[in-house]
Copies of this chain bind each other. A is one copy, B any other.
Amino acid sequence: MYPYYPQVPQFPYPNYHLMLPSFYNSPYPANGWFGQYDARETFESHRLPPEQKLTFVLVHGSWADAHFWDGIAAELRKRGHTVYTPEYAGHGKDPNKAVTHDMITKSVVDYVTRLNLHEIILVGHSFGGSVIQKVAEQIPDRLKRLVFWDAFVLKDGESVADELPPQTRQGFEQLRGASHDDTIMLPFSLFRALFVNTATLEQAKWIYAGVAPEPAKPLFEKLDLKAFYALPTPKSYLFFYQDNVFTGAEGFGWYPHMASRLGMFRLIVGDGDHMTDAFVRPSMVAQKLYEAGRD
């Protein structure tokens, strides 16, 4: 039998002055225990349960750098979490674009090891999913949980390119062939339609201004992931249902297609697209990452 559950009137708009700012942007109109309390009760009764303090390590995806996380990291820090956003080889200020998936993984592993981080919530976005799969294999004892946010979960022996619909894969191969340094630069029209489809044109252009050519090789490397699939680390999948990277291709995609490979995982769903919300609604993403990352 369920424990006693007091039936008190629900209050639709709790006095937000008494709430943590981070709960303002919750997609749930009346979620959380605070929804159960009456507005006429005391100040104390409105206060939210203390939020668990977590250590996040946020690993960005392709056509992005560590600044992708700026808004989200600021929101998480405001809520009391510790947040790290490692840059990895071939990205950010690194002039060398001739990198391998191994080098990228090593960047993150070295970062975590050098700072001697423990009990981390390791988050991968997009291509970053394949990175945290490999990072997890090397530093499993430092992990509290893996969170995949619209991120690749590759099968053992697969490359990221293997998970792309034929049309997209072919497009990437053409863009790769057209580059002089084995990178892929997304045309704006494709970026706007598939990565930031819910943005305004101004937002899309602003985000695109931060996009640099992506080293192609790591996207096409087949990865040995046998060790990953033996890890008992808890896992979460955060899926945003307006994400259009796979542009509706049947038999492909983040969820359920790739997420299902995680075995038992925690599912969290949001209404965002692939990249826009990181810039436009960072507190929404922060809330979702917290829901995905907490115990």
Contact = CB atoms under 8 A, between A and B. Distances in A.
Given A29-B26, A260-B249, A92 B1 contact: yes
B2 A70 contact: yes
A25 B10 contact: yes
Interface string A66-102: 0110110011000000000000000011000000000
Interface residues of A, number: 85
Contact of A210 (B1, B207, B257, B264): B1
A62 interface: no
A68 B2 contact: yes
B248 A259 contact: yes
A268 B198 contact: yes
A5 interface: yes
A290 to B, nearest CB: 10
Given A256-B248, A280-B35, A2 B210 contact: yes
A237 interface: yes
A87 to B, nearest CB: 10
18 contacts: A2-B68, A7-B70, A10-B25, A10-B75, A13-B16, A30-B281, A35-B280, A189-B234, A190-B264, A193-B264, A197-B268, A201-B295, A242-B267, A247-B262, A247-B263, A248-B259, A249-B260, A267-B273
